[in-house]
Amino acid sequence: QVQLVESGGGLVQPGGSLRLSCAAAGSIFSLNAVGWYRQAPGKQRELVAAITGGGSTNYSDSVKGRFTISRDNAKNTVYLQMNSLKPEDTAVYYCYADLYTDSVSPLRAYWGQGTQVTVSS
């Protein structure tokens, strides 16, 4: 059984910073691509950032230069450092992880419960 536990969300003023963490717990054989989606009020769900098993990163245009995704395979954890936050970054952020639970099971995506990020003065 695998669970993704998110933390780090909260209320921050424009221009501030937050760091989101997502730890995968349980039977983790191998982490592959991991990343973050967000759902803002009245907007489409969007991929914020992703990092592959090989370390390649991708960011949405709206967060490039402000957000940084990283991973720690030893801790089975993915991070999202969010700087220069804007009100339009307000959303529920969901982490995901494509992983293998053992050496024979297929690759599967797991999702966190979501964490609220609110950017407001």
Instruction: Specify whether the backbone of 15 is left (phi greater than 0), alpha (psi in -120 to 50) or beta.
Output: left
Picking from 50, 40, 36, the residue whose alpha carbon sits closest to that of residue 89 is: 40
pLDDT of residue 47: 96
Give the model confidence (pLDDT) of 57-101 as tens digits: 999 999 999 999 999 988 989 999 999 999 999 999 999 999 898
What is the distance between the alpha carbons of residues 94 and 115, in angstroms, rounded to a whole number? 7
Give the model confidence (pLDDT) of 31-59 as tens digits: 889 999 999 988 999 999 999 988 899 99
